[in-house]
Structure 1
Amino acid sequence: MSDRQSAPTPPLSPHAHGLPILIIGSGSTGLALGQGLGKAGISCIIFEKDSALERSRDWNMGLHWGAPILKSLIPEDRWARIQSVQVDPHNPTKNEDTLAFINGATGEEMVAFTFGPFYRLRRSKLRSLLAPGLEIRHSKTLCNVTYAHDGQSVTAHFNDGTSATGCMLVGADGARSTVRQLLLGPTKGAINRIPYAATFVQRRFTREQALYLRSFHPLFLASAHPDKHFAFFGMQDAADADDPTSWTFFFYISWQSSVEEQDATAGWTDAQRLAQQKQFARKFCDPWKSAYEWTPDNAPVWYLGLTDWDPGRQGYRWDNHSGLVTMVGDAVHPMTYQRGQGLNHSITDAGKLTESIVEIHQGANRNETIASFENEMIERGGKEVRDGTANTRLLHDWAKVQQSPFFTKGVTKD
């Protein structure tokens, strides 16, 4: 890919130095970036479309090779609390842990990975850890971005009629990023739908059931099934270490599902989604078989068709307006989740962009510095998007599952 050529920009003017960085989105990436900038003494404001930090859906994410970068972005006392953010805060993170990948039909171990430290973090708790001390403005839905004629400032415009001006704008607004669509248009900027889907369940069980289900692995377990299904089972929240009835488990089965099938079933109810999962699970070994049998037919679930967006595609490089606007995290490289790389790349973006903004504030050329940041991010994140989607395809093809990156490399960085 050739770099976009543009005229050099002068160092930030005194006016621009007085303006904040505008961050669109208060997910983990935007908050981590905000913490890094705050630690460096650089003003920023985060804008969030939701009315509050809390959201109705919660899930968990793996943090491993990206952990040192997150540690560098946040205050020491905040990192000291990282254990409290884990799905099981009572079970100290090991320097090394072994995670198994099994045959979903027989329970036979196909491969095991030993690595660490591995943090399995609840998304809601991670955001709560990262939010304090940041200026977050809620109920702000971005609708447009404009740029000053002198090239020194950028203005975000919101649906409520308000606006905010900063010396740079960063899109950290997730897989269906508005910033990306404003930069590339509704066609190139749209999320790419791929032919796989999953339905997710979060559930508590009786004491005996919970102890049995967790006996397979205290953290999480993954499997591929000969029927071309992939499955995950793990903890979401171990609220009370001594009360298994307080433990919430998180599990799903994913399958090949054409975009046409996804559209045709768009109106399905939770009960229909769960019934489909239960049908898949009948051919699975435990813990999936029992977990689905023990889940009431009217239990709430949520469904997602899988998506990606590759920033490395020819012709998809955006105009960053000489470094006035850029993107990080899922806004620029949303990827499938079966190999657990998304959070690590997103935190890496936040760390590298923090370093770049510090350099700009110290006098570095904004255009060149942001171009360099984007080049590295596009190469690294784009490769992971492509590898992640290939991994998803292979995990759902029993004849090729052993060729998948998950099987050959686990969740470690290349």
Structure 2
Amino acid sequence: MADLTNGQANGQNGTDGRANGHSQPSLPILIIGSGSTGLALAQGLRQAGIRCIVFEKQPSSARERDWNMGLHWGAPALKSVMPEDMWSRIQSVQVDPSEPTKAQDTLSFVRGDTGETMVAVPVSYFYRLRRSKLRELLAQGVDIQYNKRLCDISYAEGGRSVTAHFVDGSQATGSILIGADGARSTTRRLLLGPDTASINRLPYAATFVQQKFPKEQALYLRKFHPLYLASAHPDNRFAFFGMHDAADPEDPSSWTFFFYISWPSSLEEQDATADWTDAQRLAQQKEFAKTFCDPWKSAYEWTSDDTPVWYMGLTDWDPLREGHRWDNHDGLVTMVGDAVHPMTYQRGQGLNHSITDANNLRDALIKIHQGADRKEAVTAFEDEMIARAGKEVQESTANSRLLHDWDKVTLSPFYNNGLGRN
């Protein structure tokens, strides 16, 4: 276990550990954040026999919100960090475990007002995973410490160790610290300062709905595609409709659908409507949906006015931007996933890049464990990740902008390249 005390952390006095610039091999790796990325990395390290501890700011594994994510070109990376018996259960974490993942599938991108197919996007082994189920699967066998909110990071003299300090006064010392703590990462803020690390707000917003329907309505709505449907509307709006949870494949009334309409929304508008209620958010979505084709038009019409929703403005943070490279303290600290490359979601790339980060960092940490230079291995990992995922941050943001501009929809990466890797 890591040192979770209120006193001096192990190794801070510089009296033990290996030569200058090398971590103590007996110390665990510290992972901040128990999202899909942090847990995937922890599983990869667990399979490699490298001790790690995950620290999560929430008081338990339960989360207020749940959503689903597309996994496609990143699937081999997820398989790589999982034990074989765990990967064999990947079907169980899909939005509909009874719907087999196809070797080849086609996702339709339709015109929002007429339903006319604009482009058919080919995709191989497209997994639609529920976040909560994926996290539950990846958490198995992992040491997770809950209610641990990071507030500071300190480094032992000579680079022997790194210590995470938590709001509750406890601390943990490890060989390397990895921030996997999401789009508004505390790790990123501590490494770069609050201004540079601040999330970049974009002039687009979306309101998300999760809803069950009576049997006949559910069957009607699902006939458009069993998992996923997207559209662009001439009113400069983008929409998504999909399955979130097919609790009982034989009982359509048990199915939960997940859908939203996103639209251009200035930062001024976002600020002015910050205090809107769920009812106001849903009413706005219902008004948008009146000019949409089905399934959106009927789904919103059939959704009760008091249905809870959640709203968010779109954001990103580009690690390729000048001034955004952090000091990794000779390889003692780094970041992965949304902590370092949060991106817009209309092109469905976030999970794929994040899991790839976990796979690649796992490989780098194995090399360090085997004696490779820590700074060189971590920096090489970061160089690849920043180039790969930073490009995707830029492309995903450009994609979101083009999808909300009817005159330029056909120029968007999603329209031209589908879900393929950039």
Structure 2-normalised TM-score? 0.95
Query: Is residue 2:205 matched to residue 1:193?
Result: no
1:182, 1:161 → 2: CA distance?
Answer: 17
Q: Are the counterparts in 1 of residues 20 and 159 from structure 2 also a CA contact under 8 Å?
A: no
The alignment's C-alpha RMSD in Å is: 0.8
**Of 117, 121, 124, the match for 1:113:** 121
Q: Give the partner amino acid of 1:380.
A: R
Residue number in structure 1 paired with 2:108: 100
Point out where structure 2 has 5 or more consecutive residues left out of the alignment: 1-18
Count the aligned residue pairs: 404
**Of 104, 116, 140, the match for 1:132:** 140
Residue number in structure 1 paired with 2:98: 90
**Of 2, 5, 12, the match for 2:22:** 12
Q: Give the partner amino acid of 1:122.
A: R
Deviation at 1:12, TM superposition (A): 3.3
Residue number in structure 1 paired with 2:130: 122
Q: Are the counterparts in 1 of residues 208 and 310 from structure 2 also a CA contact under 8 Å?
A: yes
**Of 277, 281, 306, the match for 2:289:** 281
Residue number in structure 1 paired with 2:77: 69
Q: Give the partner amino acid of 1:35.
A: Q
Residue number in structure 2 paired with 1:6: none
1:10, 1:225 → 2: CA distance?
Answer: 60
1:242, 1:36 → 2: CA distance?
Answer: 36
2:97, 2:337 → 1: CA distance?
Answer: 26
Q: Give the partner amino acid of 1:76.
A: E
1:221-232 → structure 2 map (5 Å cutoff) = 221-232=229-240
2:254, 2:306 → 1: CA distance?
Answer: 20
1:333, 1:369 → 2: CA distance?
Answer: 20
1:139, 1:367 → 2: CA distance?
Answer: 31
Query: Is residue 2:242 matched to residue 1:234?
Result: yes
Residue number in structure 2 paired with 1:261: 269
Q: Give the partner amino acid of 2:198.
A: A
1:9-408 → structure 2 map (5 Å cutoff) = 12=22, 16-408=24-416
Structure 1-normalised TM-score? 0.97
Residue number in structure 1 paired with 2:15: none
Deviation at 1:181, TM superposition (A): 0.3
Q: Give the partner amino acid of 1:86.
A: Q
Q: Give the partner amino acid of 2:288.
A: F
Deviation digits for residues 353-392 of structure 1, max 9, x if unmatched? Answer: 0000000111111111111100000000100000000000
Q: Are the counterparts in 2 of residues 21 and 43 from structure 1 also a CA contact under 8 Å?
A: yes
Report SS of the residue matched to 1:150.
helix
1:11, 1:358 → 2: CA distance?
Answer: 17
Deviation at 1:11, TM superposition (A): 6.7
1:83, 1:294 → 2: CA distance?
Answer: 30
Deviation digits for residues 322-377 of structure 1, max 9, x if unmatched? Answer: 00000000000000000000000000000000000000111111111111100000
Q: Give the partner amino acid of 2:241.
A: F
Report SS of the residue matched to 1:399.
helix
Q: Are the counterparts in 2 of residues 333 and 382 from structure 1 also a CA contact under 8 Å?
A: yes
Report SS of the residue matched to 2:235.
coil
**Relative to structure 2, which stretch is displaced further, 361-370 or 23-32?**
361-370
Report SS of the residue matched to 1:306.
strand
Q: Are the counterparts in 2 of residues 11 and 363 from structure 1 also a CA contact under 8 Å?
A: no
Report SS of the residue matched to 2:193.
helix
2:75, 2:313 → 1: CA distance?
Answer: 29
1:72, 1:376 → 2: CA distance?
Answer: 18
2:414, 2:224 → 1: CA distance?
Answer: 19
The share of aligned pairs that are identical, in percent, is 70
Deviation at 1:10, TM superposition (A): 5.4
Q: Give the partner amino acid of 1:196.
A: Y
Q: Are the counterparts in 2 of residues 10 and 365 from structure 1 also a CA contact under 8 Å?
A: no
Q: Are the counterparts in 2 of residues 29 and 329 from structure 1 also a CA contact under 8 Å?
A: yes
Deviation digits for residues 241-271 of structure 1, max 9, x if unmatched? Answer: 1100000000000000011111110000000
Q: Give the partner amino acid of 2:191.
A: L
The runs of 4+ residues in structure 1 deviating greater than 4 Å are: none
